[in-house]
Each structure stands twice: as structure tokens, then as C-alpha cells.
Structure 1
Amino acid sequence: MSEDLLSYELDNDIALIGINRPEKRNAMPEAMFADLGRLAEKAGQEARAAVLFGHGPHFSAGLDLADLARRLKENGGKRPPHAGPYMPHIAFDKIARGRIPFVAALSGAVIGAGLEVAAATHVRVADDTAFFALPEAQRGIFVGAGGSVRIQRLVGNARMTDMMLTGRVLGADEAYAQNLVQYRVDEGKAIEKAKELATVIAGNRVETNWSITQGLSRVNDMSYDDALFVETLIGRNAASAGTERLLDFLEKRAKPLAPHPAPRN
């Protein structure tokens, strides 16, 4: 079962979900996608934020092509159909539009489906070893887990087209410059930084986090006027859900904002 290839742990309010197939560079059989979706739902019930990472030196080298080839052979050369919650893009949507924010800790290979699942998270941290690619064209396949939507919205049509057509590999610095990741850290520090950010996120009001992760991506899809209308509804709902954070600020109990060192680039 692909569930055996995933780890799940609770660290206070943080759920830690790990792709645990280091001997295969964390390549993922397609059955794992649905299992990731189920763990994302579990995390939403038990935690306030989550960290997604890969065991070993690589986040994920993408789809397990040996598993795909075997299933193609068994199905007469045709890709077996998916249905319902087992559709890869629906499974990853449980990360992108689930109950809680996700932070990805990225190192080594972040390739193909590995990049697709990373793009479903809300904040991405890459260390010096991370490299990013979409080699589907060279393999005779196409992205199939929401990448054409999520990755394209991060880097734009031209950059994603280039990556897919040419197999171009982006290093961590290029990925940061192209908006694939928001933070850059030294080798081996991605999981530490991801946990630090998840802890900050978990300290926000649950309702506010939900408004951000659910609202921003949808507003981005709307017309100008509709987006402003929905922003007003979300803002009013968030403000009416509780005033304790406003009072903490006004009565000087809240930690003051201070500049942080810029992410490495």
C-alpha cells in the first residue's frame, strides 16, 4: 500500500507529512496521491498548520514511471482512468484548499509530480540542493495533478512552457527568482525553516488562516468587480469572528512587527 510510503506525525499544532521512499528519490506511485489527500484531510482535523517534506536528500523525483509503465501494460497501453477523490488534482486540492495552511520543505529533486504537489502548498522553502523541473514532454506524458493550473499561476505561461518543452532545470536561486519558492535557506535547513514558519502560521486565528488560503486563490480567478465584492464579504466575516487580536494590538499585548533578514537569493 502507498500509505506505507508516507509518514504522519503531530508536533503540537503542526502536522508533519513525509514522502518516505528515499531509495527511489521519493518517486510517487499514483495511488500515493489519494493517500496524500487523505492525510491532508486528517491534518486539517488535528492540526493548525502542516509541513510537507521528503525523507532523505530529495523532496520527490515525481511520478513513479516504472509503476506507470506497469499499469499501462496491464491496461492495454492506455492510462487507467481515475474517478472521484482519486483524481490527482482533486487529491492535491485537499492540500491547496483544505482546512489548514501547508508549508513545503524542499531539497534535492522537486520534479514533475513532486513540483505539482509542492505547488499545492501555500508557502515553499528551498535549500541549496533543491532543483526543479517538468520533464513530462521528454517522457511522452503531460502534467496531471493540477500542475498546469497551479505551477502556471506561480511562474507564468512562458516559463512553464519553456520548462516543459525543453526540460529546463531550475536551481534554487532561479526557483526563488521565478516565484516557485518564497524562502531560500542553506543545505539541510529547509525542514527547520518550514517548521518555524508553520509555527508562526499556527499562531494565527484559524478563521483568518482559512480566509486567506480559501479566499485569495478564488479572488485571483474572478473579475475585478467580483473580486472586490468577495474581498469585502471575507473581510467583514473575518473581522466579526472575533476582536481579541485587535484588542491585543491596541492594548500593546501583541508582539510588534520588526523587519526580518531577506530570504536568500
Structure 2
Amino acid sequence: MDGLVTFELRDRIAWIGLNRPEKRNAINDALLEALHAAAARAQGEARAAVIHGHGPCFCAGLDLAEHQARDPEGVFTHSRAWHAAFSAIRRGRVPFIAALHGPTVGGGLELAAACHIRVAEPSAFFALPEGQRGIYVGGGASVHVARLLGASRMADMMLTGRVLDAAAAERAGLVQYLVAENERLDKAGELATKVAAMAPLTVLGVLQALPRIQDMSEDDGLFVESMMAALAQTGPEAAQRLADFVEKRAARLGTAGS
């Protein structure tokens, strides 16, 4: 991965680090390719994955130095490459957790939104500066960020340059966990450990069925839910876990809000 992305596998968890700190982890073509490869590797080797940024921030977005020289066809092809890389994160068998600090803007926000869970420190802030630079998002924000924030909030960010701090992002539903400074990796690891212990068929339903159900009619969505329930609840792991629960061998649920 040419050092642009670090990859470490520990206890079934893949730790993937953006490693271009001198450029605030701005995503150029080489980093995008390395990230795509790391995500594909995690899908084959891990049960959960954490994406984080080395250095002072998570990711400052698209490397505009490369973007300037592209014609319309080149921009289109480049955008589709981002979609493919982020699809390897979003549509696989492994849940991804983003551990966020400092600038998480533009393409960095699109990367965070492609993950399934987001943990942020107080230093994290979120923006879509593309609108102020005369360009349009191309890494999936129209779908993924808009679904998290709502189209009206995303429009506000693009039209006015509004920046959300970590607390505002949590209130808006962009971030699920807000932690103290320097605790993002610990919290992400804690969550990844829980996710790695999940039954694979349940994870399959959450990653593959749930997002598709959001695009279906009510009747179709409920039908697919029933099919997914039938598949997951008759699997061998479900049978064992349900038996453990009935026999009071299962661990108790954690406290609310944890």
C-alpha cells in the first residue's frame, strides 16, 4: 500500500490508517487505491474494521492539486472510483467504524459517512466545502451524507459553508458516539470487539438488507425483513445464543446510552 495506508490485524479487527499526515490525509488517487485495497483485505481477513487518520486529523478531503487537470470525463471516472472504493467499505461482510478527530471535511466526510458507525472526539469538525470552491461532491455525499443529515442540512452546508462541530454532528445524527479527547481509538476498538462477536447472519442483515430496505416500499421492505429474520434466526449461531438466553447463560445488556 506504499505506506499511504497502514493495515494491522488484531483480534479479528482490521485497523486501517490514512497515512498522509503532511497533507492532512487528503485523498489523492494513490491513497484512494490503497484504501480500496485495504478495505478489500479487511473483508477477507477480519470480522470488524476501524478506519482512522494518522497525524493531526482524520481527513481533509480530496487532494485538489490532482483534481484541477481533469476534463468532464476524467472527473466522472474519478468519482466512480471513489464510489467503488467506498462500496468496498459499505457493502461487504465486515462492519466499519470511523474514528474521527480534527478536520473531517469534503471527501473525508464522505469516507466517514460510508462507514457504519462513527466515533468523534471534540476536536472533530465536519464540512462540505465543495460548494464554496465551485465544485460538487463526488464521493457519495449526495447519498450517504444526505441520508444521515437530511438533504436540507446537507444543502445548508454546501450553500453556506456551514461547519458542524462534534457536538452538533452528534445532535444531527452524523456521529453516534462523542468521546473525550484522545479516546476515539479506544472507543472504536471497544465497539469493534462487540461487532466482531456478532453472528455473521445478523451482520449480513444489518449491512446488506437494512440499507436496501430504506429504498423499498413499505410492503416490500417488510417482506425482505421477514425473509432476513427467517434466514438469521434459523442459523446455528442463533440457535445457540437463543438457548443461552433462555437458560440465563447469556450476558446481560449494557446500560442505556453506553
Give TM-score scaled by structure 2 length: 0.94
Deviates more, 1:134-143 or 1:168-177: 134-143
Secondary structure of 1:195's aligned partner:
helix
Secondary structure of 1:91's aligned partner:
helix
Matches within 5 A, 1:76-91: 78=72, 80-81=74-75, 83=77, 87-91=81-85
Task: Tell me which amino acid in the other structure corresponds to 1:231.
Answer: E
Residue number in structure 1 paired with 2:33: 34
How far does the alpha carbon of each residue in 1:66-88 deviate from its partner, in whole angstroms, 9 at most, with x for none? 1222xx1xx5x556256599621
Do the aligned residues in 1 keep the contact of 2:4 with 2:34 (CA within 8 Å)? no
CA distance in 2, matches of 1:228, 1:14: 32
Residue number in structure 1 paired with 2:54: 55
Task: Note closer, same or farther for the CA distance 1:117–1:138 as it changes in structure 2 (3 Å cut).
Answer: same
Task: Tell me which amino acid in the other structure corresponds to 1:195.
Answer: G
2:138 equivalent to 1:144? yes
Task: Tell me which amino acid in the other structure corresponds to 1:28.
Answer: I
CA distance in 1, matches of 2:84, 2:93: 15
How far does the alpha carbon of each residue in 1:43-89 deviate from its partner, in whole angstroms, 9 at most, with x for none? 011010000000112000000111222xx1xx5x5562565996211
CA distance in 2, matches of 1:93, 1:232: 25
Residue number in structure 2 paired with 1:127: 121
Matches within 5 A, 1:59-74: 59-69=58-68, 72=69
Secondary structure of 1:18's aligned partner:
strand
Aligned length: 256
CA distance in 2, matches of 1:230, 1:31: 39
Q: Alignment identity in percent?
A: 50
Matches within 5 A, 1:166-185: 166-185=160-179
CA drift of 1:102 comes to 0.5
Superposition RMSD in Å: 1.8
2:251 equivalent to 1:252? no
Residue number in structure 2 paired with 1:187: 181
Task: Note closer, same or farther for the CA distance 1:82–1:38 as it changes in structure 2 (3 Å cut).
Answer: farther
Secondary structure of 2:99's aligned partner:
strand
How far does the alpha carbon of each residue in 1:111-155 deviate from its partner, in whole angstroms, 9 at most, with x for none? 000000100000000001000000001112111111110000000
Which consecutive unaligned segments of at least 5 residues does structure 1 have?
A: none
CA drift of 1:226 comes to 0.2
Do the aligned residues in 1 keep the contact of 2:201 with 2:231 (CA within 8 Å)? no
Do the aligned residues in 2 keep the contact of 1:135 with 1:167 (CA within 8 Å)? yes
CA distance in 1, matches of 2:106, 2:194: 29
CA drift of 1:91 comes to 1.4
Give TM-score scaled by structure 1 length: 0.92
Which consecutive unaligned segments of at least 5 residues does structure 2 have?
A: none
Runs of 4+ in 1 over 4 A off after TM superposition: 81-86
CA distance in 2, matches of 1:86, 1:180: 23
Residue number in structure 1 paired with 2:151: 157
Do the aligned residues in 2 keep the contact of 1:132 with 1:171 (CA within 8 Å)? yes
Task: Note closer, same or farther for the CA distance 1:41–1:153 as it changes in structure 2 (3 Å cut).
Answer: same
Task: Note closer, same or farther for the CA distance 1:84–1:45 as it changes in structure 2 (3 Å cut).
Answer: farther
Residue number in structure 1 paired with 2:9: 10
Do the aligned residues in 1 keep the contact of 2:39 with 2:88 (CA within 8 Å)? yes
Residue number in structure 2 paired with 1:45: 44
Task: Tell me which amino acid in the other structure corresponds to 2:13.
Answer: I
